Amino acid sequence: MNVFISYRHKDWGIARQIAEQLRRRVNGYVFFDERSIDQADFEKSILSHLRQSQVVVIIVTDNTFAADRIIQSDDWIRREMKEALYQGKDIVPVRINAPFPPKHQLPPDIQAIAHMNSLELYPGHRVFEAGLQNLVDFINRISGSEGENILYKTKEALLQGNYLGARRELEKVLDVLDTYAEPQYIARGDFYRALIQLNGKRPYIQTFPTMREVETWMRSAINRHKTLTYLLGLGLFKLDFSRNGLSHYQEEGLALLNEAIRLPQTTEDDELLAILATCQPYIINDYLNND
């Protein structure tokens, strides 16, 4: 999740305060340009970052819509608003003791801004924190709707066999994932937790407590979003662990495999199976490739 902060340089102080709070509390990258820029920088850097962002936060003060500037076609704030509207970004106007001007006072290419719901912050007032939390929650809800992006770094670490790194990346996003993401992505997070718990080692050499925790995460994934991969994965884990002389694990594993093969293999399963095969290649080879 990338967040772009649009502001007049006269408002640098409050804009920087908001940017710092978002960097601490939002899962993602917050772009806040603190330099004095020229036209070339604007074209190359500023607009590039805006286009790569999912959310554009516009700091609205008495300076933002100054009539002598906003009417200029090359005004940077106007161009940022115009680009954000054109790109269909999620735009969040944040008013700092300032109203929107009437629509007819704005250039046609940014008049849509005047109709947008906005948040109001009162710096130095006790309700400032509540307003700021509303902004954080709004951005996190958008971030949560893009659950696949939230889990991207965890997935990459797993594919590289970096289980410690995967654990760190997953821990960073758990609050956002569990609070805002759709069930299928919460389920994927549970699946990743099971793989991290196994740490690249096959189930039959694990302890009972470890396997109970792995099963808890896999069951959670199945309950949230049943897929062929989650049923297959848990079934294979149980079959492998049954090599310790646990016949009931073998029976449960076979039952899960039978349930799995009755489900269609989706494109989501293609990706999940590739991750499972990378993290647990031995059980894939032992139980599937030799059939």
Hey, what amino acid is at 104? H
| Continuous segment of H or E residues that includes residue 91 | strand 90-96
- Of 132, 189, 144, 116, give the one whose Cα is nearest residue 54: 144
Query: How far apart are alpha carbons 197 and 287 in whole angstroms?
Result: 21
Give the tokens for residue 151: 């889990």
Residues 10 and 138 in one domain: yes
Query: How far apart are alpha carbons 210 and 37 in whole angstroms?
Result: 55
Distances (CA, A) of 197 to 36, 42, 158, 234, 279: 48, 46, 11, 13, 11
Residues 194 and 209 in one domain: yes
Hey, what amino acid is at 213? E
CATH classification at residue 41: 3.40.50.10140
Residue 55 in 3-state DSSP?
A: strand
The answer to whether residues 121 and 132 touch, using CB atoms and an 8 Å cutoff, is yes
Tens of each residue's pLDDT in the chain, 291 residues: 789 999 999 999 999 999 998 888 876 789 998 765 555 666 677 888 899 898 999 999 999 999 999 999 999 999 999 999 999 999 999 999 888 889 999 999 999 998 888 898 988 777 788 888 888 888 877 765 556 677 888 999 999 999 999 999 999 888 878 877 789 999 999 999 999 999 999 999 999 999 999 999 999 999 999 999 999 999 999 999 999 999 999 999 999 999 999 999 998 999 999 999 999 999 888 877 654
Residues 236 and 252 in one domain: yes
The distance of Cα 49 from the centroid of its chain, to the nearest Å, equals 18
Residues 95 and 170 in one domain: no
Residues 262 and 276 in one domain: yes
Number of domains forming the structure of the chain = 2
Residues 138 and 72 in one domain: yes
Beta strands, E only, 176-230: none
Distant-in-sequence, close-in-space partners of 105: CB < 8 Å, separation ≥ 6: 65, 67
Residues 120 and 100 in one domain: yes
Query: How far apart are alpha carbons 246 and 267 in whole angstroms?
Result: 34
Q: Which of 118, 144, 170 is the last residue of a domain?
A: 144
Q: What value, to the nearest 5°, has the Cα angle with vertex 102 and ends 118 and 121?
A: 25
Query: How far apart are alpha carbons 82 and 141 in whole angstroms?
Result: 24
Residues 17 and 52 in one domain: yes
DSSP state of 225: S
Parent domain of 266: 147-289
Residues 173 and 277 in one domain: yes
Residues 258 and 241 in one domain: yes
Residue 141's beta-bridge partner residues? none
Residues 137 and 162 in one domain: no
Cα four-point dihedral sign 136, 142, 145, 148: negative
